[in-house]
Amino acid sequence: MFTPVTAVLTLRARVLLVLAVLLATLVPTAPALAASPPVDTFASQGRGAEVVAVTQVADRQVDLSVRSAALGGRTVKVRLLTPDGWNPDDRRRHWPTLWLLHGCCGDYTSWTSRTDVAEIASLRDVLVVMPEAGWNGWYSDWWNHGQGGDPAWETFHTVELRHLLERDWGAGSNRVVAGLSMGGQGALLYAARHPGMFKATAAYSGSAHPLLNDESVNRIMGFFAGQGNDPLRVWGDPVAQRGIWEAHDPFHLAKRLKSLPVYLSCGDGTTGPLDPPGSTSALEADFNRQNQALAAELRRVGAKHVTTNFYGPGTHGWAYWERELHASLPVLLGALRGDG
């Protein structure tokens, strides 16, 4: 989940943001990926991820401690919500898989601790994968001033962890992906940047178009700067490295999503029925505008399977995300079944 962060930009950064608006008219709206999706080099070199510990934390909930080459040898957690009859030792059976991605300032436990996902009956024949993605990892291989390297969250998830789960933990190649806030952006990015990997995607209050305007750029730069981080490490400068930004902006990847079922939902930032009295969220209002823009762009490029729920009132909170998970399951599970 996001918590408010104030983005303080230097005078130079503000000037660059103005230039970004001017340059936008000179840049194609659907560029080739400037920051290419990761290739399978870790697996081909015999390196990658390995499970170093397994912990049963609750009924049908198993935590894997995974050491990752893409994360510089660090060990991170992945929570599995296992289907009925799941047995990782049975190499003959592989389960359809729902990847559930957490938001900024959350972790791999967020979905099970904050929602009723473990009680949803329709998920008892699906393997639910809830990976760690860092406090503000942004589901990206960080630019790191052109040096790349740690952290490489996209490589960890889409290459290392995917292979590990499918080889040893009963995950099948039939996958869908969903996420909230930062994880909503991650769900859209992974579906767009890895054609064929996911059969559908859903984003709840997702960061769907961070290049929408100066406010949106300022806001995401503030999150990049969280915990004392250099905000330019993630995607670089929004002007000088604009191609990298566009390669991680779902709006600019709309053509890559047009053949998939896409579910988008977001509140309008005003006090809603599931909020404490007087709650408001400028973040949710910004994300609402971003999602509206992405939905319009998807339809412009010919997407035929877009479901939206732009509700108002409503703010940036778990009560809405739990509700939207339930609402999106017909789209996600239908894609796993091959409906339509």
Give the pLDDT confidence of 227-251 residue by residue, as tens digits: 999 999 999 999 999 999 999 999 9
79-83 average pLDDT score: 98
Domains of the chain (ranges, CATH numbers): 11-337 (3.40.50.1820)
pLDDT value of residue 33: 55
Pairing of strands 75-81, 127-131: antiparallel
Cα(191)–Cα(188) distance, rounded to whole angstroms? 5
- pLDDT at position 54 over 60: yes
Farthest CA pair distance, the chain: 60
Q: Kindly state the DSSP code that residue 82 receives in the 8-state scheme.
A: P
Query: C-alpha angle with apex 151: 223 to 171, nearest 5 degrees?
Result: 105
pTM > 0.85: yes
% pLDDT > 70, the chain: 86
- pLDDT at position 41 over 70: no
Location of structure tokens 């930004």: 245
59 — pLDDT class (breaks 50, 70, 90): very high
Interacting residues of 245 by C-beta distance below 8 A, sequence separation 6+: 210, 211, 235, 236, 238
Q: Which amino acid is at 6?
A: T
CA 340 to chain centre: 25
13 — pLDDT class (breaks 50, 70, 90): very low
- pLDDT at position 314 over 60: yes
47 — pLDDT class (breaks 50, 70, 90): low
305-327 average pLDDT score: 97
254-264 average pLDDT score: 98
* CB contact at 8 A, 283 and 301: no
* CB contact at 8 A, 1 and 106: yes
Location of structure tokens 């994360």: 71
pLDDT tens digit sequence for 167-193: 999 999 999 999 999 999 999 999 999
Cα(149)–Cα(284) distance, rounded to whole angstroms? 32
Cα(27)–Cα(242) distance, rounded to whole angstroms? 9
Structure token digits, residue 213: 């305007």
